[in-house]
Amino acid sequence: MKKEIGHSNFKFNGWIMSKPGDLLLWFIPVWVLWLVFFSNSNYFQSIDLPLWGWVIFILGFDVSHVWSTIFRTYLDKDEFKSHKKLLITAPILVFSISIILLNVSVLMFWRVMAYVAVFHFIKQQYGFLMLYKFKAKENYKQLISDKFIIYFATLYPIVFWHFNSQSSINWFVENDFIKLTLVYDNPGLQDTIFFYCNVVYWLIISLYFMLELKAYKTQHVSIPKLLWVITTAVNWWFAIVYFNSDLIFSVTNVVAHGLPYISLIYFYKLKKESIVNQQKVKFKKRLQFFIILIMTIISIALVEEYLWDMLVYRDNSDFFKSILPYNFEQLTSHWSLILGISLLALPQQTHYLIDGFIWKFNAKNKHIKQIFSNPDES
């Protein structure tokens, strides 16, 4: 166990991958984005996400992180055997549900997708928080629990989003969230209500941190965990509530979600191999796996988005046609669209479903506890 820095009850270790790894991949990218957005907030609030930004952030981080799951499941014989029933039935289930929803309404399909995505994004924030608690061996109880604060920090901005009549953000498509605005004819009243709700929000967040700082006198308090909570709260509140910007929300959210997930897959695979083989993986093999992982997920993400654009939406044709001209017309008939969208959405939906099972500390994930029990390498 490495020596702790500062007060004996402040745990500056307990990082999930390592101190440099966590900071460089899970925290600093998000913090840098906020420095950029605050440096010229009016400009970023007034523009749409440019094509190059879509390629880097949506395709490069969001779509790619979905495909990184295959290295933790379908491409790993041991993991596939442990989750065989889930990995076979999940795609069949979500594909069937998609066909039913699309046959009812395309908007209904995207609405369900949006709410499932929100749940998935929030659950990831909670999952990483619990990993930090596990690494720090925290077991004390607070008036405001860690579980409550991470859900509160993320759900309040989502509720605000639903009630804000001036909202300019969509998750997937326009109007995918149900509008619950109650004060269309009185924007002044809406602003007053939101002002007091925002005050309460930050008071509760502040109270949580005050209680955590107070607890350090008698308990071990994890600094990485606290960094994760405040980064999550700031990221969701500023993007949705303060800026109300689709560009800012999209960029900060996918970086805060996709980059940690991809790096966690990389970390998990290497740690598992070192545990199974009882020796540290050599640098050459680590570099080789990194290249294979990144090239694979970006290539497949590129193909997936090419097909989305060619067959369904044609939103980014300038980019994709410069790579390979389209040889197919857009899908137009009722059933071709239903089947096309269901198939193209299948990887993302399967990722949402199986992700809730492959990171649980249970018998089906026999290596996971040992992997995250090892001391961090900070």
Q: How far is CA 367 from the centre of its chain?
A: 23
> Within 10 A of 264 (CB to CB), how many other CB atoms are there?
22
Q: Domain spans of the chain?
A: 10-373
Average pLDDT of the segment spanning 347-360: 96
Residue 271's pLDDT is what?
Answer: 94
In the structure, how many helices (H) and strands (E) does the chain have? 16, 2
Residue recorded with tokens 């600094």: 223
Measured CA to CA, the distance from residue 104 to residue 316 in angstroms comes to: 27
Average pLDDT of the segment spanning 135-164: 91
Q: In which region does residue 41 sit, left (phi positive, over 0), alpha (psi from -120 to 50) or beta (all else)?
A: alpha
Token code pair at residue 253 = 């959210």
Q: Return the closest-CA partner of residue 244 out of 177, 165, 190, 154.
A: 165
pLDDT interval class at 282 (50, 70, 90): very high
Q: Are 331 and 312 in contact (CB under 8 A)?
A: yes
Q: What is the residue type of 206?
A: S
Length of the chain equals 378
Q: Is the pLDDT of residue 13 over 80?
A: no
Q: What is the residue type of 133?
A: K
CA end-to-end span of the chain, whole Å?
A: 11
pLDDT interval class at 11 (50, 70, 90): low
Q: What is the residue type of 199?
A: V
Residue 373's pLDDT is what?
Answer: 84
Measured CA to CA, the distance from residue 132 to residue 218 in angstroms comes to: 19
Residue 218's pLDDT is what?
Answer: 67
Integer CA distances (angstroms), 235 to 12, 19, 73, 238, in order: 22, 21, 30, 6
- Return all residues near 208 (Cβ < 8 A) that are at least 6 apart: 142, 144, 149, 229
Average pLDDT taken over every residue of the chain: 91
Q: Is the pLDDT of residue 96 over 80?
A: yes
Q: How far is CA 211 from the centre of its chain?
A: 27
Average pLDDT of the segment spanning 79-88: 96
Residue 2's pLDDT is what?
Answer: 43
Which helix (DSSP H) or strand (DSSP E) does residue 11 occupy? strand 10-11
Q: Is the pLDDT of residue 324 over 80?
A: yes
Q: Is the pLDDT of residue 140 over 90?
A: no
Handedness of CA 14, 19, 21, 24 (dihedral sign): positive
Residue recorded with tokens 């860690």: 146
- Return all residues near 179 (Cβ < 8 A) that are at least 6 apart: 162
Token code pair at residue 110 = 């995207």
Q: Return the closest-CA partner of residue 51 out of 345, 241, 321.
A: 321
Residue 327's pLDDT is what?
Answer: 86
> Within 10 A of 208 (CB to CB), how many other CB atoms are there?
24
For 183-226, how does the pLDDT look when each residue is reduced to its tens digit (9 = 90+)?
A: 556 778 888 999 999 999 999 999 999 999 887 766 777 899 99
Measured CA to CA, the distance from residue 219 to residue 339 in angstroms comes to: 55
Residue 1's pLDDT is what?
Answer: 39
Residue recorded with tokens 């290497």: 270
Token code pair at residue 83 = 């989750």
pLDDT interval class at 4 (50, 70, 90): very low
